[in-house]
Amino acid sequence: MPEARVAAPLTTDVAARIAREVYGLAAAIRVLPGEYDDNFHLEAGDSRAFVLKLMHPAREDSFADMQCRALTHLAGRAPHLALPRVIPTAKGSCTRGQARR
C-alpha cells in the first residue's frame, strides 16, 4: 500500500456531489483530517451527521471491501460498541460506488 499521496485532495464540492449521487444525501460538508484517504463531515438538514470516507484511488477494491465487511460484522456481533457504522449506498452497496474522484 503506497504511503505517498498520488492524488490531489478532493474538495467539498466533489464530496457534496458524491453524497448526492451515491447516497441521495444533501448536506453541509466540512473537511476532516486524513492521513491517506479523504474524509468529510456531513450534516443533513434534519441534523443527522455522517462521515464520508473516500478511499484513495490507489487502494485496491478488496481493501475497501474488507473494511466494510469488518465494520458490518462488528456492528452485528457487538452493537453496543462505539464503532463507525457502514451506510450502504442508495443501490445497496457497501463498497466503492460508481462516482469518480
What pLDDT is recorded for position 68? 86
- For residue 65, report the phi and psi dihedrals to the nearest 5 degrees: -60, -40
Closest CA to 55 of 70, 43, 42, 66: 66
Positions of the chain with pLDDT lower than 70, given as ranges: 1-7, 90, 95-101
What pLDDT is recorded for position 5? 55
What pLDDT is recorded for position 100? 39
What pLDDT is recorded for position 99? 41
Q: Whole-model pTM?
A: 0.76
What pLDDT is recorded for position 61? 81
